[in-house]
Amino acid sequence: MSYTIKIPSYINDFKCIGKECELHCCQVWGIDWYVSEVERIKNSDCSQELKDLVARSFKKTEHDDIVRIIFGEDKDCPFHDKEDRLCMIQKELGHDYLSHTCKTYPLAGTINNGTILRYRVISCPAVYDLVTASPDACDVYTKARKEDITTVNSCFVDTETDVSDNPVLMYRNELFDFFYGIISNKNTDIITALISGILAASKIDEFAAKDVKRIPEVIKALTPQMTNPATLKSLQDIAPNLSVKLPVLKNLFSSLEIEVPFRKFIQNGEGTADTDVLFISPEQYNDYYKKFRSCFPKDYIIRNIVRALYMDMQMPFIDKKDSIFANYAYFAVCVAAIEYLGVCIAASNDDEVAVRAKFKTIVCHLARKLCHNTTTNKLVLDFIKSINCYTPGYISIIVK
Ligand code: SF4
């Protein structure tokens, strides 16, 4: 079978920074291994020390053929050498003995209807650095069709059953290009672009409900509107409503159970335990927002982070069963939440270098939670629905 392959331009520049990495992929996650992969190490020529470590470092999961790494008390992978910060399995046996996830991370992708989109996940700090290094890092290119691809590692595949359950999935590629084009439009700011995407998502759902096959025609009709300067200006001129936006975002962190760890992380050394670093009043917000943005004077940086998150969430379908609007609303609220945390960091830290470093850590950590965890989107959407904000108007207010 032949495929069309689409890739962002940064993809081949990736290099794992190994022991220099401050945010190891071996930390925080419990990486799943196939039982056969573990057995292969047990039967190898490795040291007894490694065999003993393997014997006590995996726990059962709900799947008979999959086991999960047990973290130490330091929340680190037990195979992670504490001195040189390298993987003991890789050091003794080589790359081939790693689990599928360890071998492929941070590479990921989607496959739909003969098109493969390849990207790298932004939870990896080396990917964050690449994505934010140049304006065109996230420009997506189509490569020549390749014949006879039999296996494609680490890709989310849209199966025939997926498409028959939700026929809108048939148009994943067209919808990806359409929404990615909107957030990539350099003639408008990223917030306005996100809002125009919210309105477009709602419109597409309206037509899809009547006749799904009209989606290409609707995309074609909406595309000039999404780049029309007058339309973009009118969206840009919408006044923010911070008395709605700020409490929604602050309460969202509690529902995601990230409030406590992030509170500690954002706070600088001089803060007190009483300081609520996740609270910013509407009166202070604009000043702190400007301070945050001044730490990223190059406009493309935040835009590229948003574009990378869009790919990492397998948009426009992080949830294949849900509508375009539901998926886009999730994406837009996540971006708003990440930006809000950036503003909180700027509010609590005066050093620009520290703001940038902390924001990078927040993006990488949150990407794990928001993009690689299929239950988070349900949590976020349930929360938005529970406070009656699940409409294009309210989602736009949260983003603005
Ligand atoms: S998070 Fe990225 S840079 Fe760090 S060790 Fe893993 S692959 Fe390498």
- Measured CA to CA, the distance from residue 147 to residue 149 in angstroms comes to 6
Q: Is the CB of 364 under 6 A from ligand 1?
A: no
The answer to whether the CB of 231 falls within 8 A of the CB of 200 is no
Instruction: Give the mutation target among 11, 15, 17 for probing the ligand 1 site: most ligand atoms within 8 A of CB.
Output: 17
**Structure letter (DSSP) for residue 340:** H
Going by CA atoms, what residue is nearest to atom 7 of ligand 1? 16
* Domain ranges (residues) in the chain: 26-104, 160-400
**What does the angle CA 64 – CA 101 – CA 341 come to, to the nearest 5 degrees?**
115
The backbone region for 164, taken as left when phi is positive above 0, alpha when psi lies in -120 to 50, beta otherwise, is: alpha
As a 3-state breakdown, the chain gives helix, strand, coil percent values, each rounded to 5, of 55, 10, 35
Helices (H) and strands (E) in the chain, counts: 18, 8
212 lines ligand 1 (CB under 6 A): no
The answer to whether 320 and 383 have CB atoms below 8 angstroms apart is: no
Q: How far apart are CA 265 and CA 244, in angstroms?
A: 25
CA angle, 158 as apex, 14 and 334 as ends, to 5°?
60
* Residue 120, SS3 per DSSP: strand
Report DSSP state, residue 240.
P
Q: Please give the Cα distance from 226 to 194 (Å, whole number).
A: 11
C-alpha to C-alpha distance for 195 and 240, rounded to whole angstroms: 12
Q: Is the pTM of this model over 0.85?
A: yes
Pocket test residue of 105, 365, 368 for ligand 1, highest count of atoms within 8 A of CB: 105
Q: What is the pLDDT along the chain (400 residues), one digit of tens a residue?
A: 678 999 999 999 998 887 788 887 877 667 889 999 999 999 999 999 999 999 999 999 888 999 999 988 877 889 988 888 788 999 999 989 999 888 889 999 999 999 999 999 999 999 999 999 999 999 999 987 765 565 567 788 999 999 999 999 999 999 999 999 999 999 999 999 999 999 999 999 999 999 999 999 999 999 999 989 999 999 999 999 999 999 999 889 877 777 666 776 776 544 444 457 778 889 999 999 999 999 999 989 999 999 999 999 999 999 999 999 999 999 999 999 999 999 999 998 889 999 999 999 999 988 988 887 778 999 999 999 999 999 999 999 999 9
How far, in Å, from the CA of 124 to the mean position of ligand 1? Answer: 5
User: What's residue 334's pLDDT?
Assistant: 96
Asked if residue 130 has its Cβ within 6 Å of ligand 1, the reply is no
